[in-house]
Amino acid sequence: MVEIVIARFSTQAEAELTASFLRRHGVRARVPSFAFAESVGSPAGAGIGELPVIVKADQAKKAWKLLKRVRAGEFVGEVDSDNPRRRLGAQLSEVLLPVPGYTAPSRWVARAPLLAIAVLFILSLFGATVFRLLRVSLG
């Protein structure tokens, strides 16, 4: 049977938690060993790179739907639940969802240095002319 990488994680713990969550919901998921991860270019032993969570192709759609529910926050706040599936989903939510109160930086933050350089460049080209015109008109 063909297998599909359903998600990638930077740590073994995140990948194993995701695979465990999927298995609890009837999806046959696995995380390859460190040796496998390193052989495909993921230096997992060094703590960097990506560890894949792999599922059978015929269960991929169910796995994506489950992870979508986690990312939608369906399991948040269920850490103390008696239902092991919901408790595991809550733990996975804590890993996958952003920290409450965190706001991602605006896309303009990344462009601010370029904008500042452009303004300085334009001022360096035309700044003297603009200042002379202002002095004449004000003076």
Helix (H) or strand (E) holding 52: strand 51-56
The pTM score is: 0.58
86 and 49, same domain (yes or no): yes
72 and 52, same domain (yes or no): yes
91 and 124, same domain (yes or no): no
134 and 80, same domain (yes or no): no
Residue-wise DSSP of 54-123: EEEGGGHHHHHHHHHHHHTTTTTT-TT-S-HHHHHHHHHHHHHSPPTT--PPPHHHHHHHHHHHHHHHHH
pLDDT string in tens for the chain (139-residue length): 789 898 888 888 888 989 998 998 899 999 987 645 455 555 444 445 678 899 999 999 999 999 888 888 887 776 666 777 777 777 787 777 765 554 555 666 667 778 888 887 877 777 667 667 667 666 5
Token output for 60: 């991929």
24 and 87, same domain (yes or no): yes
- Is the distance from CB of 62 to CB of 28 less than 8 angstroms? no
- Is the distance from CB of 1 to CB of 58 less than 8 angstroms? yes
Give residue 127's domain range. Answer: 105-139
Q: What number of other Cβ atoms are within 10 A of residue 21's Cβ?
A: 27
CA geometry: angle 98, 60, 66, nearest 5 deg: 40
- Is the distance from CB of 125 to CB of 113 less than 8 angstroms? no
36 and 54, same domain (yes or no): yes
62 and 119, same domain (yes or no): no
62 and 129, same domain (yes or no): no
- Is the distance from CB of 44 to CB of 51 less than 8 angstroms? yes
